Chain A
Amino acid sequence: MSAHLETNTGVDNRKFAMWTLIGSECFLFGTLIVNYMINRNRGLAGPTGPEIFNIDLTTLSTFDLLMSSVAMALAVFYCKQKRLRAMQISLATVVIFGLFFLGFQYYEFNHFVNEGLSLGTNIFGSSFYLLTGCHGIHVAIGVMIISTLLIQSLIKGESWFNDDVVEICGLYWHFVDVIWIIIFTVVLLLVLI
């Protein structure tokens, strides 16, 4: 309601709330990552990380998510420029890349389960699924929100240039992306060392 109100910090309320939420989410993922770090060498009954991780594939999905972040940044930029078609294409790219990422994750989880690492096999697996699953849910929510934006923009056309909303969604999306890079480093690259 207060998008047009003047605020003390000069930042829109909703954007400020998103930053606060991101602060909170940092603790959420921080806890999950610490939990993973503690548990990654514990109770290894089934396959372990180095045995089943497919670094190439995950690198590809990381790249995919990074590209979606670029597209998101473009969407925000075009929205401010009031270039409708370009913005819609960028948003669609974000959605498609996001869906690709989810597809990669589905494939990967499926693959791991086939290799014998399911949620309850060992604590390494449980922590891994908890961490990446939680991130996956965040991506899915992001995809849902951004497709809503896209649909709305397609319906309303030129009359819909809500740069605040696009920017806030962008914030969220970049955050989810940054978290993935940390997870990628912690979960996969540390295994290699």
Chain B
Amino acid sequence: MSNHSAPNTGLWGWITTVDHKKIAILYALSSLFFFFLGGVEAMIMRTQLIIPNNDFVTARTFNSMVTMHGTTMIFLVVMPLSSAFFNFLIPIMIGARDVAFPRLNALSFWIFFFGGILLNAGYFINEVPRQGWFGYANLTDRQYTPDLSVDFWAMGLQVVGLASLIASINFFVTIMNMRCKGMTLLKMPMFVWTSLVTQVLLFLALPVITVALVMITFDRHFGTGFFNPGAGGSVILWQHLFWVFGHPEVYILILPAMGIVSEILPTFSKKPLFGYSVMVYSSCAIGFLGFAVWAHHMFTTGLGPWATTFFTAATMLIAVPTGVKIFNWISTVWGGRIHFNTASLFGLSFVAMFTFGGLSGIMHSSAPIDTQHQDTYFVVAHFHYVLYGGAVMGLFGGVFYWFPKVTGRFLHEGMGKVQFWLFMIGFNVTFFPMHFLGVQGMPRRNYTYAADQGWDLWNLVATLGAYTTAIGGLLFFYNLFYSIKRGALAPADPWDGRTLEWTIPSPPPEYNFGIEPVVKNLDDFWHQKYDEQGQRLSLPAKASYDPHSIHLPNPSYWPICLAAGLTLGAAGFFIKGFGLYVSLLGVAIVLISSYGWAYEEA
């Protein structure tokens, strides 16, 4: 850390920070906290299902666990953890000193953080959402869920969604506008590309869920009947709206991990990413097709043969660009010099597990087969292979890969490898048997099952696998605490990296680059270090610069005020009696903060 940023390291410094690297750390820490919470929810579910007719938790609690595990893992773990990577890496990878709107960036984080708390606030009054993470109407109607549980879910998602929307616009502008000299679009690292596609998906898909959530809130509290068949509404409309958002959301979750793996594999096999341009096009194709396959979640709702055919075909089509990516990753390591450490193991496991999830996905892309798989454990197995074996393993690879850059210390390798194998074995032992359970007809979201079904064995195995994973997770948290204090010190370029973040010190100074970089090639740093024959070149001496002459955005407390006001406005909804005044107070705080913000020296 340079001298003039030293006063900003206290709690106040973190609260008012607009530095994208600090915000990234805030995102990462809060998503890891929610990861712990979501993990506990998963363990409660698996414990309940360890034997038939178990009464470890009540049906109500189990349904809440189902709902909150899904919602938490998607909206409060994978998305913000990806956001942590966007925050830390995008500006550095494109050679910028910060994102386009540093204060907006802080605002997104605080809105997300408060929204996450609001989403979980039902725990305090025992009204935890229990209608499933996709909240199918009309179970969410007040008639069937009279308490406030659905409102915590709808409001929480609304607030979290707003955070993602702001962040996506910010990153989109950053990538499009703030690249350093020479960094054309096709010289950007792959991670920046997949991030770019993710941002587009985010800001196009989020408005749809916003409308749907507004509609559900209106239905519950303002007497409308959009999803109430009794009033002429349609329950299917909710499913269309939800999945028009929900399917792009799947790619929002997986694309950042794909980008991370596309950075890890080249580095640890010392080869460039195979077929860079094809990888770019396939990411764009996935993003585009992601908007055209939503109804494959609805094959059993009676769409009619033509719609079913269309969505079957579109879903199969999306397998093609995905398959291209997998073959390209294999070709990337082919002929390389593969170094095995925790980061690369996680990255490689992503390819294996994601392939597996992709293949079971092909199975139920066919509508007739899907009518046997829909809402069984087969589907549970499928999306955990994609989102856990895929996205989460990829993100953990990213954590081990960039941790030295973020903190200046390595995560402990030994513990990391043990964690990797606990995860890998635990994950497969948990989710592979779920394919069998699905084929044996076990419906998902069942809080219990009868002993006469023959599902005992695989449920037991799955639960044991889940416990294995949990040990791995705890080990990771210990590793984090251990390494942040006592991990081995990391140099600027610990992995012989290829992209710009490895050219600057670990941890990077607040201004990232003393002298703004100029890029000539894709993988520019590699080309600075090695010539075409693979001979090491000597790096030119670093030019000196005066850190004090670099203008940095001032810290600001308006973002947290605005976010707090916004969340207060939403929270007033849940307070009986004087709730309206709380909401109005929130709105007032939002207004005051907006003006304070607008007139503040940036």
Q: Does A touch B (CB under 8 Å) in the complex?
A: yes
Inter-chain contacts of B598 with A (CB < 8 A): 148
Are A31 and B225 in contact, with the CB atoms below 8 A? no
Inter-chain contacts of B487 with A (CB < 8 A): none
Are A8 and B173 in contact, with the CB atoms below 8 A? no
Whether a CB of chain B sits under 8 angstroms from the CB of A193 is no
24 A-B contacts (beta carbon < 8 Å) = A8-B176, A13-B101, A13-B177, A17-B100, A17-B170, A17-B173, A23-B203, A23-B204, A24-B203, A24-B207, A25-B207, A28-B207, A28-B210, A31-B211, A31-B212, A31-B244, A35-B211, A39-B237, A42-B233, A45-B231, A123-B233, A126-B225, A130-B224, A148-B595
Whether a CB of chain B sits under 8 angstroms from the CB of A154 is no
Are B165 and A24 in contact, with the CB atoms below 8 A? yes
Inter-chain contacts of B101 with A (CB < 8 A): 13, 17
In angstroms, Cα B201 to Cα A110, docked, is 39
Whether a CB of chain B sits under 8 angstroms from the CB of A186 is no
Inter-chain contacts of B206 with A (CB < 8 A): 24
In angstroms, Cα B102 to Cα A58, docked, is 42
Inter-chain contacts of A28 with B (CB < 8 A): 207-208, 210-211
In angstroms, Cα B215 to Cα A35, docked, is 10
* Binary CB contact string for chain B from 169 to 208 against chain A (1 if under 8 A, 0 otherwise): 1101100111100000000000000000000000111111
Inter-chain contacts of B222 with A (CB < 8 A): 119-120
Provided the pairs A1-B553, A17-B101, A31-B207 are in contact, do residues A24 and B237 lie with their beta carbons within 8 angstroms?
A: no
* Binary CB contact string for chain B from 474 to 496 against chain A (1 if under 8 A, 0 otherwise): 00000000000000000000000
Which of A35, A118, A126 has the largest number of chain B CB atoms within 10 A? A126
Inter-chain contacts of A123 with B (CB < 8 A): 224-226, 231-233
Q: Look across to chain B and name the residue whose beta carbon is closest to the beta carbon of A31.
A: B211
CB distance from A141 to the nearest CB of B (A): 10
Are A32 and B226 in contact, with the CB atoms below 8 A? no
Q: Tell which of B170, B177, B231, B237 touches A35, judged by Cβ atoms closer than 8 Å.
A: B237
Residues of B within 8 A of A (CB): 100-102, 165, 169-170, 172-173, 176-179, 203-208, 210-212, 214-215, 218, 222-226, 231-234, 237, 241, 244, 553, 595, 598, 602
The residues in A between 19 and 70 inclusive whose CB is less than 8 angstroms from any CB of B are 20-21, 23-25, 27-28, 30-32, 35, 38-39, 42-45
Whether a CB of chain B sits under 8 angstroms from the CB of A160 is no
CB distance from A64 to the nearest CB of B (A): 26
Residues of A within 8 A of B (CB): 1-2, 5, 7-9, 11, 13, 16-17, 20-21, 23-25, 27-28, 30-32, 35, 38-39, 42-45, 118-120, 122-123, 126-127, 130, 148
CB distance from B94 to the nearest CB of A (A): 9
Are B226 and A126 in contact, with the CB atoms below 8 A? yes
In angstroms, Cα B96 to Cα A2, docked, is 12
CB distance from A163 to the nearest CB of B (A): 17
Q: Tell which of B100, B210, B232, B553 touches A43, judged by Cβ atoms closer than 8 Å.
A: B232
Are B234 and A24 in contact, with the CB atoms below 8 A? no
CB distance from A12 to the nearest CB of B (A): 9
Nearest 5 A-B pairs (CB), nearest first?
Answer: A43-B232, A120-B223, A28-B207, A126-B224, A7-B177
Inter-chain contacts of B215 with A (CB < 8 A): 35, 130
In angstroms, Cα B560 to Cα A141, docked, is 21
Are A38 and B237 in contact, with the CB atoms below 8 A? yes
Inter-chain contacts of B231 with A (CB < 8 A): 43, 45, 122-123
Inter-chain contacts of A119 with B (CB < 8 A): 218, 222-224
Are A16 and B233 in contact, with the CB atoms below 8 A? no
Which applies to chain B's interface (DSSP): helix, strand, loop or mixed?
helix
Q: Tell which of B173, B218, B234 touches A16, judged by Cβ atoms closer than 8 Å.
A: B173
In angstroms, Cα B141 to Cα A66, docked, is 40
Are B218 and A43 in contact, with the CB atoms below 8 A? no
In angstroms, Cα B225 to Cα A44, docked, is 11
Are A31 and B241 in contact, with the CB atoms below 8 A? yes
In angstroms, Cα B102 to Cα A71, docked, is 33
Are A17 and B207 in contact, with the CB atoms below 8 A? no
Inter-chain contacts of A5 with B (CB < 8 A): 178
Are B232 and A42 in contact, with the CB atoms below 8 A? yes
CB distance from B22 to the nearest CB of A (A): 17
CB distance from A34 to the nearest CB of B (A): 9
Inter-chain contacts of B595 with A (CB < 8 A): 148
In angstroms, Cα B176 to Cα A7, docked, is 8
In angstroms, Cα B507 to Cα A101, docked, is 54
In angstroms, Cα B226 to Cα A123, docked, is 6
Q: Look across to chain A and name the residue whose beta carbon is closest to the beta carbon of B601.
A: A1
CB distance from A40 to the nearest CB of B (A): 11
In angstroms, Cα B203 to Cα A17, docked, is 11
Inter-chain contacts of B212 with A (CB < 8 A): 31
Are B170 and A130 in contact, with the CB atoms below 8 A? no
Q: Can you name 4 extra interface pairs (CB under 8 A) apart from A7-B178, A24-B204?
A: A16-B177, A20-B172, A43-B225, A122-B225
In angstroms, Cα B372 to Cα A128, docked, is 40
CB distance from B274 to the nearest CB of A (A): 27
Inter-chain contacts of B178 with A (CB < 8 A): 2, 5, 7-8, 13
In angstroms, Cα B231 to Cα A123, docked, is 7
Q: Tell which of A20, A118, A122, A130 touches B173, judged by Cβ atoms closer than 8 Å.
A: A20
In angstroms, Cα B205 to Cα A30, docked, is 11
Inter-chain contacts of B177 with A (CB < 8 A): 7-9, 11, 13, 16
Inter-chain contacts of A2 with B (CB < 8 A): 100, 178
Inter-chain contacts of A23 with B (CB < 8 A): 203-204
Are B232 and A130 in contact, with the CB atoms below 8 A? no
In angstroms, Cα B211 to Cα A120, docked, is 17
CB distance from A150 to the nearest CB of B (A): 14
Are A27 and B208 in contact, with the CB atoms below 8 A? yes
Are B204 and A120 in contact, with the CB atoms below 8 A? no
Q: Look across to chain A and name the residue whose beta carbon is closest to the beta carbon of B18.
A: A1
Q: Tell which of A7, A16, A32, A44 touches B232, judged by Cβ atoms closer than 8 Å.
A: A44
Q: Look across to chain A and name the residue whose beta carbon is closest to the beta carbon of B598.
A: A148
Are A21 and B233 in contact, with the CB atoms below 8 A? no
In angstroms, Cα B162 to Cα A21, docked, is 12
In angstroms, Cα B237 to Cα A184, docked, is 24
Inter-chain contacts of B223 with A (CB < 8 A): 118-120
In angstroms, Cα B223 to Cα A181, docked, is 29
Inter-chain contacts of B165 with A (CB < 8 A): 24
Q: Look across to chain A and name the residue whose beta carbon is closest to the beta carbon of B225.
A: A123
CB distance from B517 to the nearest CB of A (A): 14
Inter-chain contacts of A43 with B (CB < 8 A): 225, 231-233
Inter-chain contacts of B225 with A (CB < 8 A): 43, 120, 122-123, 126
Q: Look across to chain B and name the residue whose beta carbon is closest to the beta carbon of A17.
A: B173
Q: Look across to chain A and name the residue whose beta carbon is closest to the beta carbon of B211.
A: A31
In angstroms, Cα B170 to Cα A1, docked, is 13
